[in-house]
Amino acid sequence: MINNIFKDVTIPNQFQIEKLINQELYLVNGDLRSWSGETSPVNSAIFIENSEGNLERKVIGSVPSMAEENALEALDAAYDAYDKGRGEWPTMKVEERIKCIEEFAKMMVGTRDEVVKCMMWEIGKTYTDSCKEFDRTIEYIADTIQDLKEMDRKHSNLQLHSGVYAQVRRGPLGVVLCMGPYNYPLNETFCLLIPALICGNTTVFKPAKYGILLLSPLLEAFQKCFPKGVVNLIYGRGRVLAAPIMKTGKVDVLALIGNSKSANALQHLHPKQNRLRLVLGLEAKNPGIVLPDCDIDLAVQECVLGSLSFNGQRCTALKILFVHKDIVDEFNKKFVEQVSKLKYGLPWDDNVSLTPLPEPDKPSYIKELVEDAVANGAKVLNENGGESIDSFTFPAVVYPANENMRVFHEEQFGPIVPIVPYGDIEDALNYVSESNYGQQVSLFSNSADSLAPLIDMMVNQVCRVNINAQCQRGPDVFPFVGRKDSAVSTLSVHDAIRSFSIRTLVAFKGNNLNKKVLNTLLDTKQSNFVNTHYIL
Ligand code: G3H
């Protein structure tokens, strides 16, 4: 039996929620407006003992439940601020936009403690990982600024081809509807929002289902650092807010990290789909393929990390393991040993790895998957595997997994690890080829001879092949993308800037009249686009 992590809890002072965090303001058209309408409680991932000694889910605050009219008002603010590309923000010098983002990042640094605390309570992420997520986001902003400067420097010269002078730059696309996921509510959302903004787009931004209050400390920074209407932050249900926004046809980019059902439904509501650019990060079912000639200890270590960091709630998590039958017994023994050593508890506990889950239905879903696997011939290999107390579920390692089981096909996004024994590598390769998803794969082997043909086949099935390592997105300068139903558009510090902009140029036939006009434009620096200014 697992210990009840919610009993006899001492919450360190710095993580106490002294009073409810009620989000009373929202940001539209540069105003922090008071919300007096309906609100929804913000439930924590964590259960707490009440005065009668019963466990109940901690409510940590509330957020506005906005309606369609509020969503459309926010959209109009973004639409007007873009003003069909004629607004202050899209026509501003890149250097000035960079200054706004730098100012924002400076203010953001001061909110670290509050943001981290909310993240721990709202989604149950450990203190260490919450800090990492915050710091990684700040670093991402700094790297994006550097990359854009570099790009702008390259664009600061004129080109001459076939007697035509041209200045080629990247321009914004328009209004971006931006929605991030609950598992990286800060980092993944900002990996969309920051490049969208820095490229000159205006935004309507709706936080994920969980991990909402952690944005509250940033509202003032958004309001102070950007011209009115450039960032609009609304709260409420996606169906109520995002659907009417899409129906207007005023959105130019749908930037969403989440599930494909919402992405598909939303994109089809747009009346002029050719105008809509999609930047989507969707489901994945990344496999780990463990070859008989691998370093088993290393493979186990990486597979445990890959499948169970943040309780398996990462789009890049290893969601199924194929292990060669000659080594599967040893692999399983060592894997189970490592899982049993993972410390479980609350997000502020030292060295904790496994924590409560924010989605209320997730423990029962994991239980269903375990029962289905057992009914189809698997055993739960580890002690306490699948046991659950309220929002906490101890990981279940199920073996032998096979194609009749739901967990073989479904993206579990939680603490269950199916292990499939294989004799013929074709079984593992076919799984990848036939999968609806195509994000990443991990291959474990010591031998270049074994790896070479697999690498050459796998790079055409997925978008990142990890050698003797778990799947992951970072470092954030590397392209993060997926094939098939896993993604649309590429994200990375550099690629995200490209995803949120379009190449646009000004061309001059090299006659005397145009040379004179061009010289005047360059000398007087009247145009923010046609100029040879070099950002330092
Ligand atoms: O949920 C998907 C994240 O992009 C994964 O990022 O691999 O750095 O955990 P990560």
Q: Supply the residue whose CA is at minimum distance from atom 2 of ligand 1.
A: 315
Q: Which residue from 139, 186, 190, 314 has its CB within 8 A of the most atoms of ligand 1, so it is best to mutate?
A: 314
| Atom from ligand 1 closest to the CA of residue 310 | 9
Residue 56: helix, strand or coil by DSSP?
Answer: strand
Q: Supply the residue whose CA is at minimum distance from atom 7 of ligand 1.
A: 472
Reference 213, options 105, 108, 60; nearest CA is 60
User: According to the model, what pLDDT value does residue 240 have?
Assistant: 96
78: Cα separation from own chain's centroid: 23
Confirm if 422 and 325 have CB atoms less than 8 A apart.
Answer: yes
Q: Supply the residue whose CA is at minimum distance from atom 4 of ligand 1.
A: 473
Q: Which residue from 182, 353, 473 has its CB within 8 A of the most atoms of ligand 1, so it is best to mutate?
A: 473
Strand 286-290 relative to strand 440-444, pairing: parallel
Ligand 1, CB cutoff 6 Å, lining residues: 183-184, 188, 314-316, 472-474
Q: Supply the residue whose CA is at minimum distance from atom 6 of ligand 1.
A: 473
User: According to the model, what pLDDT value does residue 293 have?
Assistant: 98
Give the integer Cα–Cα distance in Å for 358 and 43. 8
Reference 310, options 187, 194, 401; nearest CA is 187
Span from the CA of 32 to the centroid of ligand 1 (angstroms): 32
* DSSP code, position 243: H
| Atom from ligand 1 closest to the CA of residue 480 | 4
| 421 prior amide bond cis, ω within 30 | no
User: According to the model, what pLDDT value does residue 314 have?
Assistant: 98
Q: Measuring CA to CA, how many Å separate 201 from each of 62, 78, 89, 351, 396?
A: 30, 9, 7, 41, 45
User: pTM score, two decimals?
Assistant: 0.97
Give the integer Cα–Cα distance in Å for 276 and 175. 10
Q: Which residue from 184, 187, 190, 442 has its CB within 8 A of the most atoms of ligand 1, so it is best to mutate?
A: 184
User: According to the model, what pLDDT value does residue 334 have?
Assistant: 98
Residues 6 or more apart in contact with residue 231 via CB below 8 angstroms:
27, 193, 197, 202, 203, 205, 222, 223
Which residues of the chain fall below pLDDT 50? none
